[in-house]
């Protein structure tokens, strides 16, 4: 059977398209990768991204550039990210704040955590730690509770913004301790921690302050985990301190929706390899991180379950919807 010229042209175009598609897939990556962190520099999210960016660059053979896009509790950078091409050249450091708690805290978040992303790999989770300035008169959770009960709404706690892990942990603390302290949201945990060290706010329940604790500029009073942290063995849990609560934040890699399966598989494989590297594990554990890992499918199931779980956490915390 003879093919008409139009059919020949159509088959040729299809063959070329398939060949180009295969070449692009085989050639990934061929240019720099943007690692979007939807928070300012200095916080735990930024620290995790920067620990992984350089070794990921070496593994992928192209530059991996961390790009901070902070604001609105992580929503501004994440909102922008979901409109990027899902080709693997823009990856997101997603967090429990933006991708699990956010839908229950913002009436208009600007994206759908259940539909606008392709999960790649869960990286780490980090328990929150109650910290106060080194010069603070408080040396225990009991000190804070006593002061706050004697002076309702006098003392302040900082956070990385509405819906951040610090915000929700603070709201949990207020409820568990039956005290009134004032929330002061910032554009990221880095600026909040800087103001805390300067004495402009009184306390913070943070995930990224381990360096400042070790350096002596902040004092750790309690960790919001089931057991004490190996990196802070002398710091009691909130339960041991008399105010039972557990609060941590998770961090993972996501692509925009409908990312190619081969790109997802490549990134998942590379990140999982990095998380098994003893040197990288040690660097992450040094900031208080518990190592994650796993397949894109397992992270997809986990992230969806977290959206549901945070509905109750936000409700029980009493944090208002914005």
pLDDT digits (tens, 9 = 90+) for 137-193: 999 999 999 999 999 999 999 998 888 889 999 999 999 999 999 999 998 888 999
Q: Using the structure block, give the residue that is written with the tokens 């730690």.
A: 129
Residue 129 in tokens: 């730690």
pLDDT score recorded for residue 312: 87
Q: What is the DSSP string of 281-321?
A: HHHHHTTTPEE----HHHHHHHHHHHHHHHHHHHHHHTPPP
Contacts of 245 (CB under 8 A, 6+ apart): 169, 172, 173, 176, 224, 238, 239
Residue 216 tokens read as 């002596």
- Report the pLDDT value the prediction gives residue 242, as an integer from 0 to 100: 96
Give the burial string for 98-126 (b: 16+ CB within 10 Å, else e): bbbbbbbbbeebebebeebbbbbbbbbbb
> Residue 215, class by beta-carbon neighbours within 10 Å (0-12 exposed, 13-18 middle, 19+ buried)?
exposed
Q: What pLDDT is stored for residue 26 in this prediction?
A: 57
Which of 302, 281, 271, 232 minimizes the C-alpha distance to 64?
A: 271
Q: CA triplet 139, 196, 218: central angle to 5 degrees? A: 45
* DSSP bridge partners of 34: 65, 90
Q: Which domains are delineated in the chain?
A: 30-125+249-317 (3.40.190.150), 129-223 (3.40.190.10)
- What is the Cα gyration radius of the chain? 22
Q: Which residues partner with 202 through β-bridges?
A: none
Q: Which residue has the higher pLDDT, 19 or 76?
A: 76
- Residue 20 DSSP symbol: H
Phi, psi of 313 (to 5 degrees): -60, -45
DSSP state of 72: G
Distance (Å, whole) CA 146 – CA 148: 6
Residues 6 or more apart whose CB falls under 8 angstroms from that of 322 comprise: 105, 106, 107, 162, 163
Q: Which residue has the higher pLDDT, 1 or 198?
A: 198
What is the number of helices (H) and of strands (E) in the chain? 11, 11
Tell me the pLDDT band of 13, cut-offs 50, 70 and 90: very low
Res 1: pLDDT: 42
**pTM of the entire predicted model:** 0.82
């Amino acid at each position: 059977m003879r093919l008409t010229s139009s059919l020949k042209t159509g088959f040729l175009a299809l063959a070329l398209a398939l060949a180009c598609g295969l070449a692009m897939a085989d050639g990934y990556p061929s240019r720099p990768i943007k690692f979007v962190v939807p928070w300012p520099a200095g916080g735990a999210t930024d620290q995790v991204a920067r620990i992984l960016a350089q070794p990921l660059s070496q593994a992928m053979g192209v530059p991996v550039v961390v790009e901070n896009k902070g604001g609105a509790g992580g929503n501004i950078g994440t909102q922008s990210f979901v409109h990027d091409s899902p080709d693997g050249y823009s990856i997101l450091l997603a967090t429990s704040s933006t991708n699990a708690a956010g839908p229950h805290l913002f009436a208009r978040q600007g994206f759908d955590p259940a539909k606008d992303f392709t999960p790649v790999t869960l990286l780490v989770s980090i328990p929150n730690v109650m910290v106060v300035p080194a010069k603070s008169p408080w040396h225990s959770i009991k000190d804070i509770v006593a002061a706050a009960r004697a002076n309702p709404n006098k003392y302040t706690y900082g956070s990385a913004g509405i819906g951040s892990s610090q915000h929700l942990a603070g709201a949990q603390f207020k409820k568990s301790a039956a005290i009134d302290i004032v929330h002061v949201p910032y554009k990221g945990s880095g600026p909040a921690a800087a103001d805390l060290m300067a004495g402009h706010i009184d306390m913070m329940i943070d995930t990224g302050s381990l360096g400042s604790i070790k350096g002596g500029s902040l004092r750790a009073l309690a960790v919001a985990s089931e057991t004490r942290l190996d990196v802070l063995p002398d710091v009691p849990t909130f339960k041991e301190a008399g105010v039972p609560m557990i609060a941590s934040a998770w961090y993972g890699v996501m692509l925009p929706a409908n990312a190619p399966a081969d790109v997802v598989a490549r990134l998942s494989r590379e990140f999982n390899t990095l998380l098994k590297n003893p040197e990288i594990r040690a660097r992450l554990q040094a900031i208080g991180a518990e190592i994650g890992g796993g397949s894109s499918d397992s992270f997809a199931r986990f992230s969806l379950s977290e959206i549901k779980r945070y509905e109750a956490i936000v409700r029980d915390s009493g944090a208002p919807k914005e």
